[in-house]
Amino acid sequence: MAGEIKQFLYVNRKAPYGTVYALESLEVVLIGAAFDQDVRLLFMDDGVFQIKKDQNTEASGLKNFSPTYNALGDYDVNKIYVSKESLDERGLTQDDLMPLVYEDEDDDWAEKSSIKIVSADEIRDLMEGSDVVLSF
Amino acid sequence: MKISVQINEGPYQHQSSDSAYNFVKAALDKGHDIVRVFFYHDGVNNGTRLASPPQDDRNVQQRWSDLSKEHNLDLVICVAAAQRRGIVDDGEAERNGKDATNIMDGFHISGLGQLIEAAVESDRLVVFGD
């Protein structure tokens, strides 16, 4: 695999709690970031709730792992796509999401948003342009 | 073609392991190369040797083990997912102070990097799960 770079797309479709998929997907993304591949994340369907801000799991006793998403920028994972349709269907806007950011080394380390809101057509293009699609 | 397979669901509860098994067998029959089968989420439960399904049903775990022997398949169980669910080999038992092991012959426990590496090295990664 020396030198080979593939386009990875992680598709996150499930709510953050209730099942373990979201947490274990994030673990794959963080491990995968060490492999110097081109990584993109897509949040759609109930998966958009994974990056909703102000998550509080106290009453459920489950671990609130949402702060970990803030570390993605430090792992050079800064292409995060969110389905507009999925946000609309759930009465959410980008303001309801965590402000996930990265520092752009090509622009004097300016802090920039990693999040891009995308349409269904753009999601199709995203998938078509990926070598590896991992769906969680 | 070089193919890797990811299985995300447990045996019997879900058909994904059955579908993946049939897919892998068919791919091997067609002469394709199965680089790795990676078990994640509840899929790690496909690697216990302590299951005793009814005699008149398929034995999902044994079937993988047999196929692995026949074709020298690389069956990898994710360590992080296995630790949560109690799939244990000798090394894990020692590391985590457990009094038993339950891993099925033919499987081995390794890291998530094995999944990423398989995806990079294969022409296709085929994911079975919800």
Domains observed in chain A: 7-135 (3.40.1260.10)
Query: Which chain B residue is nearest to residue A133, measuring alpha carbons?
Result: B125
Point out the residue among B80, B127, B130 whose CB comes nearest to the CB of A27.
B80
The ipTM assigned to this model is 0.86
Does domain B2-128 fall under CATH 3.40.50.261? My reply is no
Q: How many angstroms separate the CA atoms of A12 and A10, rounded? A: 6
pLDDT score recorded for residue A114: 97
Q: How many angstroms separate the CA atoms of B6 and B37, rounded? A: 6
Q: Where are the beta strands (DSSP E) in chain B?
A: 2-7, 33-39, 75-78, 107-110, 124-128
Residues of chain A positioned with their CB less than 8 A from the CB of B111: 31
B9-29 tens-digit pLDDT: 999 999 999 999 999 999 999
The domain spans of chain B are: 2-128
Select from A37, A45, A62, A136 the residue whose CB has the most chain B CBs within 10 Å, as the one to mutate to test that interface. Answer: A136
A12-50 tens-digit pLDDT: 999 999 999 999 999 999 999 999 999 999 999 999 999
Q: 3-class DSSP state for residue B4?
A: strand
